[in-house]
Structure 1
């Protein structure tokens, strides 16, 4: 048994819509970062950038963080392409060593380009 649908009434062309109800763009969405997942890599990258600054110089917390995060990516790229890996016996120190090496490469490359 199917129900009969009620016919829709056509919209009236003279209907006035208040400005508050007119929405041209999709509703705004706020960006809520997931800090428990985001903070450890940022802290790790900042530490790697700080350690790399001892080798090649440089300063500033933001610069340390950016260089360290890029160094983490470059260090993992070096491991993936060449298979070279720092071997200290501790996984954390191995990752930190490769991130520092990657950060040094990033700084030297940036200085070469500039």
Structure 2
């Protein structure tokens, strides 16, 4: 059984028009028990401060229960904003969904080993 969900934003703009709804959906995903979230931004061409806030909300929601991995940061404007805001130093960012899945599996193994040694 896969221990992660891949969420690909279908919009080109992650901005104040969709960020509030996105945050609500992320909270619902977290409450449904999705342990690890891979957030794919490969369709996104523009992110504003509300979009960054939604990304940080997701990071905060999954920090305590599993992994949050951001991927698909391909558009130069999005890449530049992530770097300028220094989110690349805070978030787990991977170049592809496949790489993100590998990271999630490794982090799951680390948690399982840690749980076993603590018992």
TM-score in terms of structure 1 length: 0.29
The structure with more helix, counted as a fraction of residues: 1
Relative CO higher for 1 or 2, CA cutoff 8 Å, sep ≥ 6?
Answer: 2
The structure with more strand, counted as a fraction of residues: 2
